[in-house]
Structures are given as structure tokens and as C-alpha cells.
């Protein structure tokens, strides 16, 4: 068997596909390492509006949920773009609100319904498994796409890329559904004024998903020799 050399043929196409999947890998990896590991990346925020006549206290008024945990902050220590000084749960595999702790009592005061928070965290346990998997698969395709001189390697890259794109679509759908369901649940709370907002991690997953599907199209062009892609002997792409 001839030794495979990276970028021997289809150099432009290989670099293009490699770039797509490597950027997707970085996006999925950052989300997989989201709050509380990387506190500036989170999936959703549960926010409570304090009453106008209520003095500022240390009781949590905002919860930001990441894949590995969540952080609670108050109006006295609000999160910024680069820091989150609040009390955090995690990082750990699966997490729930312990009402016996100070943070748990704060959440009980915040919502009156700690089960809402626990329902969110149970869904996140499923997402926790998928994010690193999609990141890993993206890195695999980013590596194999450098060897498009081999039709077997190109086909293998396409198969893995399709699996990656499908899983990334599933992850985005779960992320999106999680926020929408949380929004609907919060609407049922009649005591207080609560709101749910999307976190930046959802849009990072969307961007990664788009990149993986673009990579699938590019790899398909290589495997079937279409869309301007020709065999290496013709000197095209």
C-alpha cells in the first residue's frame, strides 16, 4: 500500500474542508467546556426581576447554566463578559440543586420551584455526553481530510462527517428545545417576574453545525467528482 502523504492532491479542497471541521471542533470543544469551567460560555440564563421596592441583597437573582454546572449571581455581584463571581455547582457529571445548602436556599427563594432547575439539569446530562463526542468526531474529520488523494480515505471522511453533522444537528435541537421548554415552564410561574434567555453556547453550536454540513457537501463533491472537483490527474482542486 502506498504511503499516504497529507495534501499531496486536492490541496485547496483539503485545506478548505480541514478549516471547516477544525473551526467546528473548536466551537464544540468550547461549548463542551462551558460554565462553570469556562464561565463566559453558557446555554441559558434564568433571570428574576426583583421588585422595585425590594432592597438589593445577596440572594441569587440570575442562574446561568452550562454543560457541567451552573452559577448563581445576585444584583450585588452580577456576571460580566469575562467573569462570573457567583456561587457555582460543578464541574461534575450531572448535577442537582441541594436545598440544604446556601445556594439551594437561594434558588428556592429565587423561583419557589427548585424542580424547574432540576428538570433543566437532568436534560443537560444528556447534552453533556454528546458535546465532547461531536467535538472529537470533528477533529477526526479535520485530520482525515488532509488525505483526500485516497478515495478510501475520502469516503471514510465523508461517512464520519455525515455522522458528525447529524449529531451536531441533534445537539443543536436539544439545546434549542431546552431553552424553549424552560421558557414555557417559567411562563407558568405566577409569583414574581422571571425570564429565560438564550446563552451564547446555543449559537456556537449552530455555527458548528452549519460548518459541518458545509464540510459534508465539500467532501461529497470530492467522493463523486462533481461541482468542479476532478481526479488528481486533471489538476483540479
Rg (CA), the chain: 22
First-to-last alpha carbon distance for the chain, in angstroms, is 24
Helix orientation angle between 11-32 and 114-144, rounded to the nearest 10 degrees: 160
pLDDT of residue 108: 46
Question: Could you tell me the pLDDT band of residue 187, with boundaries at 50, 70 and 90?
Answer: confident
**What's the mean per-residue pLDDT of the chain?**
77
pLDDT tens digits, 113-161: 455 555 555 556 666 778 899 999 999 999 999 998 888 898 999 999 9
pLDDT tens digits, 72-84: 877 666 666 666 6
Q: Tell me the C-alpha to C-alpha distance, in Å, between residue 74 and each of 48, 50, 110, 147, 170.
A: 10, 10, 10, 52, 33
The more confidently predicted of residues 30 and 232 is: 30
Pick the CATH number of 11-234 from 1.20.140.150, 3.40.190.80, 1.20.1260.10, 1.20.120.160: 1.20.140.150
Between CA 156 and CA 164, with CA 162 as vertex, the angle to 5 degrees is: 100
pLDDT of residue 182: 76
pLDDT tens digits, 6-61: 667 778 889 999 999 999 999 999 999 988 888 889 988 887 776 655 555 556 67
Write the burial class of residue 136 (CB in 10 Å: 0-12 exposed, 13-18 middle, 19+ buried): middle
The more confidently predicted of residues 28 and 229 is: 28
Q: Is the pTM of this model over 0.75?
A: yes
Establish how many alpha carbons lie within 13 A of residue 214's alpha carbon, considering only the half-sphere containing its beta carbon. 17
Q: What average pLDDT does range 79-95 have in this prediction?
A: 67
Q: What average pLDDT does range 103-111 have in this prediction?
A: 45
Amino acid at each position: 500500500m502506498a504511503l499516504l502523504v497529507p495534501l499531496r492532491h486536492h490541496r485547496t479542497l483539503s485545506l478548505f474542508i480541514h478549516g471547516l471541521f477544525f473551526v467546528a471542533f473548536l466551537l464544540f470543544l468550547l461549548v463542551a467546556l462551558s460554565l462553570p469551567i469556562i464561565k463566559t460560555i453558557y446555554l441559558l440564563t434564568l433571570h428574576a426581576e426583583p421588585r422595585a421596592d425590594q432592597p438589593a441583597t445577596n440572594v441569587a437573582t440570575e442562574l446561568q447554566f452550562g454543560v457541567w454546572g451552573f452559577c448563581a449571581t445576585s444584583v450585588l455581584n452580577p456576571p460580566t463578559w469575562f467573569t462570573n463571581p457567583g456561587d457555582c455547582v460543578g464541574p461534575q457529571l450531572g448535577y442537582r440543586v441541594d436545598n440544604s445548602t446556601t445556594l439551594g436556599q437561594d434558588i428556592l427563594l429565587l423561583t419557589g420551584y427548585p424542580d424547574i432547575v432540576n428538570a433543566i439539569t437532568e436534560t443537560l446530562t444528556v447534552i453533556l455526553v454528546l458535546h465532547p463526542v461531536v467535538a472529537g468526531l470533528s477533529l477526526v474529520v479535520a485530520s482525515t481530510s488532509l488525505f483526500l488523494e485516497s478515495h478510501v480515505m475520502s469516503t471514510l471522511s465523508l461517512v464520519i462527517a455525515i455522522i458528525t453533522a447529524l449529531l451536531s444537528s441533534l445537539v443543536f435541537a436539544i439545546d434549542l428545545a431546552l431553552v424553549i421548554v424552560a421558557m414555557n415552564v417559567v411562563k407558568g410561574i405566577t409569583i414574581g417576574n422571571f425570564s429565560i434567555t438564550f446563552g451564547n453556547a446555543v449559537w456556537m453550536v449552530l455555527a458548528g453545525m452549519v460548518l459541518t454540513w458545509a464540510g459534508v457537501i465539500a467532501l461529497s463533491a470530492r467522493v463523486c467528482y462533481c461541482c468542479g472537483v476532478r481526479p488528481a490527474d486533471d489538476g483540479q482542486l
